[in-house]
Structure 1
């Protein structure tokens, strides 16, 4: 049997396969990038072996964090499966799940409010409202496009993605703020957070705009990124309701184990708990 050649042509066919599988644009872009990096590491090579892939895996471990390496290996393994080269698939690196979050990356409620205030002082109204929309609903940054004028009128956002659908309720204060914003900006239908050309904001631009607030807000850059707003929502909700099952539904998690990561304590809180035990003589 002829062994499939692994090259850019196969990568193009793999991308079409992902589109047919209804994978998200972000997933397709990431998988393509990871596979392209593999192919670039062996220019002109067609006779891939398991040893070559294991060496590549080791090189990745020397350059990136384990979690990042595993995400790359998932993409590569999917590519090998598509190419019917199961013999090249490699195991992911086992990682012991951390029982706490890193305090230095944790965004506090006070810091969040400083970010909102900094955006307002810089006359970045759209950014200020987007930060508040993400943090008060727990949506992913890529899901902001589902917040439309139509959804504001209903007070409910219907989010479709990753092969499933979920409903997100909008706090009444947020709904009124966004309706007022749309009225003043002349946005009569469709997504609320758009560019001057009417296209939904790009996640990279949102990231960059948030990073630009760090200095004036007095927030460390390691804490200033959109996904941390989702974490703050999850932690605030859990501390109030203590309902991890309902929180998983709101966040759109398929597994409660994923939600538990969002609700775990920080390393600082863990240390304080150990000190309060008073078990030393």
Structure 2
């Protein structure tokens, strides 16, 4: 088998993932990137996919570790390899699966970063004044209001079809991972921002059509290849808003707004199963991480604000000496 044969394995596997499982484009790109890295390593070892053994895959993971790659990155690469060889076994390209018994590195269970309600308010206010034109500011306001009101993933947000926004909807139909649809409710501020942006967007589209340009099917159109605002551009935008609002930029990403949406709902009594449905999680166990975030935040509030907790901290700082001087 040549390197070209290895690449054929990868392309056939990716085509099957897209056709049979409806794998999202970002998932496809991640698989392709990790498997090409694995293919290059296999080629340097004078090996091929058809002859790879368990020890070879383990040696690849050791090499990844030696590069200083994080446990999460190594786990992701192993997952791609496992998926590839499971597919190869099912297609009878191989009579065995050399990756099936390999355990990945333990992933650290860090709690997701979130934002306080006041920080979200500052970001939303910054969106209303950030942008070169009035249209930019209205678009930015709509993006942020929708993101916080629905907890959408950033890809779901930027690729929303304009048809989903017609008719002053109380809810939006969102296409999630694996082409699974779900309904998410809109808050009154989000509905207002959406209606205002839609008028501005449609006016710009009408003007573009008079110049012979095709109409866009996206709520947030762009002249780029994707046809809509990209994830990368929105990531940069949200960093700009963080700077403008005085919120630490390292705390703010599109995903922290999703975390804030879930955490704030939970803090105000929302049912965990309902939050699971709104976020589009396949398993409620994924949603349960937000109970730990809330528990940790409550613990911090007690330590920071309870008078007994402050007294104990003061005593530790004073070396435990609570007596008056000279006594």
TM range (shorter): 0.7 to 0.9
3-state DSSP class of the match of 1:86? coil
State the Cα distance separating 1:223 from its structure 2 match: 1.5
Deviation at 1:43, TM superposition (A): 2.8
1:14-25 matches, cutoff 5 A: 14-21=13-20, 22-25=22-25
Q: 1:12 Cα shift?
A: 1.2
Question: For residues 149 and 23 of structure 1, what CA distance do their matches in structure 2 show?
Answer: 23
Higher RCO structure (Cα 8 Å, ≥6 apart): 1
Counterpart Cα distance in 1 of 2:268 and 2:166 = 25
> In the alignment, which residue of structure 1 is the partner of 2:256?
228
In 2: Cα distance, 1:118 partner to 1:259 partner: 29
In 1, distance between residues paired with 2:149 and 2:161?
13
TM-score (ref. length: structure 1): 0.83
* Cα contact 1:234–1:263 (8 A) shared by 2: no
User: RMSD between aligned alpha carbons?
Assistant: 3.1
Q: In 2, Cα distance between the equivalents of 1:199 and 1:219?
A: 31
Is the 2:114–2:257 contact (alpha carbons within 8 Å) kept by the matching residues of 1? no
Matches of 1:39 and 1:78 in 2, distance apart? 14
Measure the CA separation in 2 of the matches of 1:213 and 1:96: 30
1:120-140 per-residue CA deviation (whole Å, 9 max, x = no partner) reads 332242223212211111111
Q: Which runs of 5+ in 2 are unaligned?
A: 90-95, 207-215, 313-319, 321-327
1:270 correspondence with 2:299: yes
How many residue pairs get matched? 274
Larger Rg, first or second structure (1 or 2) = 2
Structure 1 residues 81-137: Cα deviation after superposition (integer angstroms, max 9, x where no partner): 222251134222334745xx36xx432222222223333332242223212211111
Q: Provide the TM-score with structure 2 as the length reference.
A: 0.73
Q: Which moved more, 1:31-40 or 1:158-167?
A: 158-167
Structure 1: unaligned runs, 5 residues or longer: none
Between 1:236-245 and 1:196-205, the stretch displaced more is 196-205
